[in-house]
Amino acid sequence: MDFEEALQELGVDADPGGDTVRRAYLRRLKTRKPETDPEGFARLRQAYETVLAAREGREGPRTQAEPLAPPPDAAASLEAAGPVSLSRQEVFDRFRAEFRALPPDAPPEAPVEVARRAVEALPDMAEARQWLVEALLAADRIPETLVAYRDAYRQGFTGFLVELAQRFPRELEDAEFTLLAESGAPQGFFWSLTEQLLRQRDGARAAKCALVAFGRMAAHPQE
């Protein structure tokens, strides 16, 4: 693949800057994942490396002996690992490196995509789910944020239910008030939540929250 073909594959103009190349790579990576489109991913990766090599005055793409540092994405890094079994911490570290490698002006979809893949690879790691929540919030994708919160607490991470209540109290469902009552959150949390709902003129939910607070007070008078 020559330089012009690589530019066309990435969908960028001639002589692009490094950030432009990376954003184009991340944008197209969303539809060319190694697990679903290995050939498309290989072409995209080759194009990315060819353009980077040309910008650095090299004659061709990097070889396996000269890897990109850091790797453009954790999925590609895991793919390159082949049959080698990685520990959960190693997988986590690779995704964390990918997050840190994102440029400040990366499109909002880029961290969301990384976070989704992190959750898929590490569904039992709370940090990966927190990445997804924060990335969705930063992208102002509130409905998807609510789904991410609920998926997390339904997988046993009760702290996400408490955080959901703190950030989006008016989105709480009836069953979630019951779950909050069983979460072990202190009385002060429920009284604070009640006041917040009253300020937002949501009397119905404020009343439900107050009932939970009174129940906690009766069950744990020493709190």
Together in a domain, 176 and 107: no
208 to 19, 135, 220: CA distances (angstroms)? 50, 31, 18
Together in a domain, 120 and 133: yes
Question: Which of 153, 143, 220 lies closest to 180, judged by CA?
Answer: 153
| Whether 33 contacts 25, CB under 8 Å | no
Instruction: Tell me the C-alpha distance between 135 and 123, whole Å.
Output: 16
Question: Which of 74, 80, 76 lies closest to 94, judged by CA?
Answer: 74
- Domain final residue, candidates 131, 153, 170: 170
| Whether 131 contacts 89, CB under 8 Å | no
Together in a domain, 158 and 207: no
Domain count, the chain: 2
Together in a domain, 96 and 122: yes
Instruction: Note the pLDDT tens digit of each residue in 78-133.
Output: 544 444 467 888 888 888 888 888 887 888 889 999 999 999 999 999 999 999 99
Instruction: Note the pLDDT tens digit of each residue in 40-56.
Output: 777 877 887 777 777 65
